[in-house]
């Protein structure tokens, strides 16, 4: 089969499948699927406000997706993005409210603090994996809970027993009046530019540097890499730390953009866990992650409008969105199947 044809067919089939099955779910539950999808569409693209908010929603997903993808590419399964993101959020919120500095220093400082906090939180499982062969999945999962409660305790300490940290100073904020004016007060902020830069950075590290090559090599085959003279444990730790830094920056997006402070969390934010799906959607490629985050974030945000405009309950919305994402992700399966099928024919 023609490669180009496959390229066009596979996503078309998978998205249509997702939409159709989603429509069936809505119809069976007694809701009008056309209204539902219309509301979803409006929720994403209706006006500048929803567009701005959609971008806002996408931004942290890019970072959490990159964090997961980076670890995947280096043979590690970082489920702790959630926790690293929370630590980054906390660090950025703290730096944002505790110091008064000119914006040119304050913003970078808060971002660096977030990246370092996320990196430190990921350093622990990296170290344990490298030195003691403790599986990173277990450690990172457990550290998610630890992060949640540590952050809550810190918020209480910083705010003197309150529920939330003070608002960050304006000099640390990523929001801008310009975006507010063109998007009718949406919470869109400069973070999306940083997200794009982060995509470039990850691509550069992995594809253009020796270190990136080593990281990938260790991921492919630890023993071969060691035999080739690479320092395996150092590379494992480094991979986790870079992954954690991306996650921490995702937290900074919430601290410096969306919320401009941090409230005690009752439960995980979900952004870190969704990052796993985003990374898989994007096939662990930096630019793929960007597209995965755009799809994921848009659906998530647009879905909020479905109960409001079409009366579809949030539970059904979750199912419909999950179905669309499921079929887009399984598009790769369809593709592989099609290609295999084509190849076999050629051999014969």
Partner 1 sequence: MKKRKFAFALSGLLALGTILGACGSKDETEEKDTNTGTEETADNFSVAMVTDTGGVDDRSFNQSTWEGIQAFGEENGLEKGDGGIDYLESKSESDYVTNLNNLIRRDFDLIFAVGYALHDAVDEIAGQKPEAQIAIIDEVVDGRDNVASIMFRANEASYLAGVAAALETKSNKIGFIGGMQGAIIGGFQAGFEAGVAAINPDIKVDVEYAESFTDAAKGQQIAKRMYDSGVDIIFHAAGGVGNGLFTEAKERKQKDPNANVWAIGVDRDQYDEGKVNDDTNIVLTSVLKRVDVAAQEVAKLAQEGNFPGGETITYGLKDQGVDLADSRGAITEENLAKIEEYKQQIIDGTVVVPEQPEK
Where along the sequence are the contacts to partner 1 (CB under 8 A)? 3, 7-8, 10-12, 14-16, 19, 34-35, 37-38, 40-42, 49, 53, 57, 149, 152, 156, 161-164, 185, 187, 254, 258-259, 261, 263-267, 269-270, 282-283, 285, 287-288, 291-292, 294-295, 301, 304-305, 307-308, 311, 314, 328, 331
Q: Give min distance, CB of 83 to partner 1, in A.
A: 15
Of the pair 101, 156, the CB lying nearest partner 1 is at 156
CA–CA distances in Å: residue 218 to residues 48, 75, 76, 284, 294: 45, 7, 10, 16, 30
Which of 278, 279, 228, 333 lies closest to 76, judged by CA?
279
Q: Give min distance, CB of 226 to partner 1, in A.
A: 28
Q: Give min distance, CB of 321 to partner 1, in A.
A: 11
Planar angle of CA 286, 234, 81, nearest 5 degrees? 45
Cβ atoms of 39 and 310 within 8 Å: the answer is yes
| CA separation for the pair 306, 20 (Å, rounded) | 17
Q: Give min distance, CB of 132 to partner 1, in A.
A: 30
Q: Which residues pair with 175 in a beta bridge?
A: 189
Of the pair 65, 126, the CB lying nearest partner 1 is at 65
Of the pair 42, 233, the CB lying nearest partner 1 is at 42
Q: Give min distance, CB of 120 to partner 1, in A.
A: 23
Phi, psi of 164 (to 5 degrees): -155, 160
Of the pair 135, 184, the CB lying nearest partner 1 is at 184
Which of 75, 107, 42 lies closest to 215, judged by CA?
75
Of the pair 245, 321, the CB lying nearest partner 1 is at 321
């Amino acid at each position: 089969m023609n490669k180009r044809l496959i390229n066009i067919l596979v996503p078309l089939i998978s998205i249509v499948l997702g939409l159709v099955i989603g429509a069936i779910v809505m119809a069976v539950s007694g809701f009008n699927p056309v209204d539902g999808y219309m509301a979803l569409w409006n929720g994403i693209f209706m006006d500048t406000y929803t567009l701005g908010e959609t971008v806002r929603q996408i931004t942290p997903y890019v970072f959490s997706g990159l964090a997961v993808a980076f670890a995947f590419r280096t043979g590690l399964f970082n489920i702790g993005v959630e926790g690293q993101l929370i630590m980054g959020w906390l660090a950025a919120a703290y730096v944002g409210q505790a110091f008064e500095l000119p914006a040119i220093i304050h913003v970078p400082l808060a971002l660096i603090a977030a990246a370092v906090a996320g990196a430190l939180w990921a350093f622990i499982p990296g170290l344990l994996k490298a030195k003691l062969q403790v599986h990173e999945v277990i450690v990172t999962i457990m550290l998610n809970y630890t992060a949640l409660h540590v952050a809550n305790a810190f918020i209480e300490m910083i705010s003197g027993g309150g529920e939330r940290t003070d608002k960050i100073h304006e000099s640390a904020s990523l929001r801008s009046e310009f975006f507010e004016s063109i998007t009718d007060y949406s919470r869109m902020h400069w973070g999306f530019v940083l997200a794009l830069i982060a995509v470039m950075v990850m691509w550069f590290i992995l594809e253009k540097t020796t270190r990136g090559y080593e990281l990938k090599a260790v991921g492919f085959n630890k023993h071969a890499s060691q035999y080739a003279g690479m320092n395996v444990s150092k590379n494992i730790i480094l991979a986790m730390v870079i992954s954690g830094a991306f996650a921490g920056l995702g937290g900074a997006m919430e601290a410096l953009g969306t919320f401009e402070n941090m409230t005690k969390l009752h439960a995980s934010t979900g952004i870190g866990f969704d990052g796993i799906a985003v990374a898989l959607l994007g096939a662990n490629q930096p630019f793929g992650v960007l597209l995965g985050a755009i799809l994921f974030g848009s659906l998530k945000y647009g879905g909020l409008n479905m109960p409001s405009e079409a009366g579809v309950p949030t539970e059904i919305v979750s199912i419909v969105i999950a179905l669309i994402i499921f079929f887009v992700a399984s598009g790769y399966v369809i593709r592989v199947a099609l290609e295999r099928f084509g190849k076999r024919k050629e051999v014969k």
